[in-house]
Amino acid sequence: MRKNAWPMTISTCVLGALSMFLRWLQLQNVADETTGLIARGAALSTLVVLCIILEALMIGVFIFRMRGELITPEKPVTPRFHNLIQPGLAALACVLLLIAGISMLRNGGAERILGALFILCSLAMARFTLVKRSPGGKALPAFCTAVVAVTMCVWLIMEYKQNAAEPQLWYFVPGILATAATAMSFYYLAGYPFGRAKPMRTVFFTQFASYLCLLTAADPGASSRAMIFMALAALQLLESRAVMEVKG
């Protein structure tokens, strides 16, 4: 086990939990002292931004310390878990993703389409994370990660169109960042079964996207949305650990 893997993962979780709390405080409705009007706690936006920057720098430092160990394998294959706890947590995350997708099917219009995509994502990630030696070669694992990346791109477009008229930028920007980072995360995870592994970029985006998903889980809205971000955060943290265990 790499000596820096656990500290980086734990640091991401701790800073993600702190940022989630700050984000929750930021989005609370408070009365302005001068006007008496109800407004969100925008003063905390600076702290949230600083936490995002701190997380990116922290991941960069850990990756720099592990740069000699994060070697591209000669024959990249899907990263594998090395204990029983990791696949158990991955299975739980896939179930949460499935439940969230089913709950979104009850809504109309684009939400129903997105719910169907997340159901497909839950099945794809169950295949990618839990079944490492089944038939299908490299094509099926690559397809599974591509499904999630494409779903994130669709969600990114929908999120922007839904919130474009929102006057407060920081009300929806963390969700946009989390969705975009998750798409990049699964893009680089797909590089392993495709034979184009890039460990340093994969670790950075899986860790950073996990942090942003934890941050965005504090946003108000449907419980299915928070469930999706929590499930994606868990899946990416687990896959990040698996990537760091790959031998050159």
For residue 36, count other CB atoms closer than 10 A to its CB: 7
Q: How confident is the model at residue 31 (pLDDT cuts 50, 70, 90)?
A: very low
Structural domain containing residue 16 = 5-244
Answer yes or no: is pLDDT of 114 > 80.
yes
Q: Please state at what angle helix 45-65 crosses helix 199-216, rounded to 10 degrees.
A: 160
Judge whether residue 70 has pLDDT over 60: yes
Q: How many domains does the chain have?
A: 1
Dihedral angle computed from the Cα positions of residues 131, 135, 139 and 141, in that order, rounded to the nearest 10 degrees: 0
**Concatenated DSSP letters of 131-164:** -SSSSSTTHHHHHHHHHHHHHHHHHHHHHHHHHT
Any idea which of 25-34, 161-170, 195-204 has the lowest mean pLDDT? 25-34
Q: Output the pLDDT for position 22.
A: 86
Q: Does the pLDDT value for residue 57 go beyond 90?
A: yes
Task: Give the integer Cα–Cα distance in Å for 81 and 132.
Answer: 9
Other Cβ atoms less than 10 A from the Cβ of 132: the count is: 15
pLDDT of residue 44: 67
CA pair distance 175, 144, nearest whole angstrom: 23
Q: Angle between the 5-26 and 45-65 helix axes, to the nearest 10 degrees?
A: 170
Q: What one-character DSSP code corresponds to residue 93? A: H
pLDDT mean over 46-66: 91
Distance CA 230, CA 205 (A): 16
- What are the b/e assignments for 134-173, b being 16+ CB within 10 Å? eeeeeebbbebbbbbbbbbeebbeebeeeeeeeeeebbbb
| pLDDT band of 134, cuts 50, 70, 90 | low
pLDDT of residue 37 exceeding 60:
no
Q: What would the two tokens of residue 209 be?
A: 């996207």
Confidence grade of residue 13 (pLDDT, cut at 50, 70, 90): very high
Residue whose C-alpha is closest to residue 186's, from 97, 111, 72, 78: 78
In this predicted model, what pLDDT tens digit does every residue of 191-242 receive, in sequence order?
Answer: 888 878 889 999 999 999 999 999 998 876 667 888 999 999 999 999 898 8
Say what the pLDDT of residue 52 is: 93
